[in-house]
Chain A
Amino acid sequence: MEIVARTIGATRRYGEVAAVDSVSLDVPAGQLLGLLGPNGAGKTTLLQLLAGLRRPTSGTVELFGGDPRNADSRRRLGCTPQETGLPPTLRVHEVVDFVARHFPDPVPTSELLEQFGLGGSDRRQTGGLSGGQKRRLTVALAFVGRPELVLLDEPTTGLDVDARHALWAAVRRYHQGGGTVVLTSHYLEEVEALAERVVVLDRGRIRIDGPLDDVRSLVASRRVRVRAAVLPELTGVERGSRAGDRHELWTADSDALVRQLVRAQVPFRDLEVSTATLEEAFLVLTATPAVVSP
C-alpha cells in the first residue's frame, strides 16, 4: 500500500522544548487517522511538519515520497487554516477561486460551497461570516484541489453539535471516496466517531498507536468513585487511589467494574461513574508506555 505521509525519527524543538520528539509514523493511502492528545502534546507541530510549514530539527519527513517543503510534494495535499484566519476583506468566492487556481482540477466553487452549506454566501466578505460559517469555509478549503491527503487540525472546534455532525459527514464521504485523512482533536468523541486508527501523542512522543477499538480499550476513560471500608479484588482497574474510605478507580469498562462490585456483595455507598476528560485519561497512559503495533 502506498505510504502518503511518513516521519522517521522526526524531532522538532522550540528552544529547549521538544514539541515533537523522535516520532516515526507511516500514513498509508486511504486511512483515516486520528491524532489525539492533550493541549501542547505536539499534534499541531506534527501536522505542520507534514505540511512543510516547519522543518524538523532532526529526522525525516516525507509527503508523497518527497520533501513537504517542496511545493510539488504538496500538489495532492489539502490543509485547513488553523483558527478562523481568513482574509476579512475578500469575498467567499474570491478566497475559494484563489485557492482553486493552485490546483490542476479543482472542485467548482459553487459545488464546493454547496457541499459545505455555504451556498448563498459566495458574495459575502469572509469578515462578515458567522463563526460557524468561517470554520466551515476553512475546512472546505482543504478539499478544493481534490486532494489525496487531507490534514485537519481541530476541524470542529467552536462548532455547534449540528454543524459538527455535518462536518463529520463530509469527512466520512471524502474518506469513503478513497481519501486519506489525518485529523487532530482533543475531543475523544470526535476521534471515536471518525478514525480507524488512533495515535496518541503526549509531550511530543507517540504513546499509543493502534486500531480504534484496541486504543479504546486501553484508555481508562471512566472514573468510578465509591466509598467502602474494604474493596474486593477487582479486575480491569488501570489505576486507583484511596483516601480513607474513598476510592477512586480508573477503568476502560465501568459497567464491568460495577458488576464486579455488586457481585462481591461488599457494603459500599456513594457510587459515582463519570467520563474522564482526555487529560485525565492520559495520566494513566503516560505511566504505562503501551505501544500497540498497528
Chain B
Amino acid sequence: MSAHGALQLTRTHARYQFTETVRIPIAVIGTSLFPALSLLFFVVPQPFAQDPVAATAAASQLALFAVMSVCLFTYGVGVAEDRALPWDGYLRTLPVGSGPRLVGRLLNGLGFVLLGLLPVALIAWLLTAATLPPSRLAFTAGALLLAGTPLFALGITIGYSLSTKAALAAAQSLLLPLAFGGGLFLPPETFPSWLDDFSTWLPTRAGRDLLVSATTGETLPGTAPVVLLGWTLLFGVLAVQAYRRDEGRRFR
C-alpha cells in the first residue's frame, strides 16, 4: 500500500469512527463532562482554588483523569464492543491493514480527549487561579501525551483481550483506584506516607507528577520517568500481543 493510500484510508477510518460516535451524543458528553464537573464542584469552591500552583495542579490532575477515562472507555470498552459485532469481521476483510484502522481509532480518541480537556481548561482559567503561561503549553501537551501512552496501551490491551462485559468491569474497577491512588482526585501531599510510597509505582502517579511538573514547573521526582517508561513498555507489549492474537469474537 502506498503511503498516500494509507494516509487516505487512515483519514477515512478516523472520519467513519468519529461520525459513528457523535451520532450517540450522550457517549461523548458522558466522558467529557465528568472531569469538568469534578473541577467545578470539588476544586472551585475550595480556598486552594485561589492558589495558582495548587489550582494548576488540581486542573492538571483532572485533565489526566479525562485522558484516562477516554483510554479505558473509548479504547477499552469501545474496542471490545466493536469486536463483538459482525461488522468488525467484515471490516477486516476489506483491503486495509491494521495500521489505518488503529491510527484512525487513535485520532478519534484524541478528538474526544480534546473535547474532555476543553471544559476543564476553560473552568480552570475562568474560575480558579490556575495559570498556564504560553511557554509551558508545548511541555504540557508533551507531558499529557507521555502520561497518556501507557493508559492508551492499557485500554487497547483490555479491548482486544476481553469480551464486552469483562472489558466494562475491568475498566470500571481500574478507573477509580488508578485515579485515587495516582493522586488525580486528591493531591499526593495529603496521602499518608504508606499510600504515597505505593502510589509512586502507579502509572497514573508517574503521569500526574510529569504533568504537574510541566504545568507548574515543580521539580519532577526522579522515579516518575522510570515508572512511566516501565508501564509503557509492559502495557505496550501486552497491547501488541492482544492485538495480534485477536480474530474478533471467539467461538467455542
Contact = CB atoms under 8 A, between A and B. Distances in A.
Interface stretch (A97-105, A203-211, A272-280): A97-105
Contacts of B19: 89-90, 94
Nearest to B22: A89
B93 A90 contact: no
Interface stretch (A23-31, A71-79, A250-258, A285-293): A71-79
A125 B86 CA distance: 18
A89 B24 contact: yes
Interface stretch (A52-60, A187-195, A215-223, A232-240): A52-60
A90 B86 contact: no
B47 interface: no
Interface in B1-47: 1, 8-9, 12, 16, 19-20, 23-24
Of B23, B95, B247, B251, most buried by chain A (CB within 10 Å of CB) is: B95
A103 B95 contact: yes
Interface string A146-160: 000001000000000
A81 B86 contact: yes
Contacts of B94: 71, 74, 99, 102
Contacts of B1: 71-72
Interface string B61-96: 000000000000000000000000111011011111
A85 B97 CA distance: 21
A141 interface: yes
A53 B93 contact: yes
A86 interface: yes
Contact of A85 (B23, B24, B86, B93): B86
A82 B95 contact: no
Given A72-B1, A90-B19, A101-B9, A53 B92 contact: yes
B interface, size bucket = 20 to 34
A94 B62 CA distance: 36
Contacts of A65: none
Contacts of B85: 85
B3 to A, nearest CB: 14
Nearest to A16: B252
Given A87-B87, A89-B24, A94-B19, A72 B93 contact: no
A90 B87 CA distance: 12
A143 to B, nearest CB: 13
Contacts of B89: 48, 53, 81-82, 85
B248 interface: yes
Of A71, A74, A77, A99, most buried by chain B (CB within 10 Å of CB) is: A71
B93 A52 contact: yes
Given A52-B93, A81-B86, A85-B90, A15 B23 contact: no
Interface in A98-121: 98-99, 101-103
Given A90-B19, A98-B16, A101-B12, A80 B90 contact: yes
Interface string B183-220: 00000000000000000000000000000000000000
A83 interface: yes
A13 to B, nearest CB: 11
B23 A72 contact: no
Contacts of B92: 51-53
Contacts of B93: 51-53, 74, 77, 79, 151
Contact of A15 (B20, B97, B252): B252
A125 B89 CA distance: 20
A74 B97 CA distance: 10
A53 B87 contact: no
A145 B90 CA distance: 14
A232 to B, nearest CB: 49
A42 B197 CA distance: 55
A176 B1 CA distance: 31
Nearest to B98: A71
Contact of A141 (B12, B23, B24, B90): B90
Given A55-B247, A72-B95, A103-B95, A87 B90 contact: no
B79 to A, nearest CB: 15
A238 B97 CA distance: 50
B133 to A, nearest CB: 42
A75 B95 contact: yes
A79 B247 CA distance: 16
B247 A102 contact: no
A89 B96 CA distance: 23
Contacts of A72: 1, 95
- Please name the 5 residue pairs, one residue from A and one from B, whose CB atoms are nearest each other, closest first: A85-B86, A89-B23, A81-B90, A79-B93, A85-B87
16 contacts: A15-B252, A51-B92, A53-B89, A53-B93, A54-B247, A55-B247, A71-B97, A75-B95, A77-B95, A80-B90, A82-B86, A85-B87, A90-B23, A94-B19, A99-B94, A103-B95
Interface of A: 14-15, 48, 51-55, 71-72, 74-75, 77, 79-83, 85-87, 89-90, 94, 98-99, 101-103, 125, 138, 141, 145, 151
